[in-house]
Amino acid sequence: MKALVVLGVLFTATAAWAGEEWKDYGKGIRWEKSLDAAKLRAIKEGKPLLFHQLVGDLDKEGC
């Protein structure tokens, strides 16, 4: 029973986020793939958005 509860919590936690874990730079932050996707999750979770605009691709260490 305890294992089922743990699995349920894990499923709920991961189901809320549709992004991908990064392997290297920026590892740890759960980036959404787009601003629109982030807005949807922000509404669902009641959180503010953190929108990082840069020159280059962040996953390739843009500036």
Partner 1 sequence: MTFSNQKVAEVVNANFVPAWFNRSPGFKNTDDAAEKSIFQGASEAFLTKNICTFVLTPDGKVFHYIAGYVSPELFLRFLEDALALRRAGFDQWMIQKPGGLESLRKLHAERAAAYETEAKSTPKLCGTEERSYRDLTHRHGDACAWQLGETWRYLGRVHRFWEKTARLPALDDVRYKYLYGNNFSEEGQGAIPIASDPTTMRGLR
Tell me whether residue 4 or residue 53 sits nearer to partner 1 (CB atom): 53
Site string for partner 1, 16-35 (x = CB under 8 A): ---------xxxxxxxxxxx
15 binds partner 1 (CB under 8 A): no
Report residue 45: phi and psi, to 5°: -100, -5
Q: Which is nearer to partner 1, 1 or 15 (CB)?
A: 15
**Which residue number, 10 or 39, has a Cβ lying nearer to partner 1?**
39
Under the criterion CB under 8 A, does residue 46 sit at the interface with partner 1?
Answer: yes
CA angle 55, 57, 33 (to 5 degrees): 120
- Cβ neighbours, 10 Å, residue 29: 11
DSSP summary character for residue 29: -
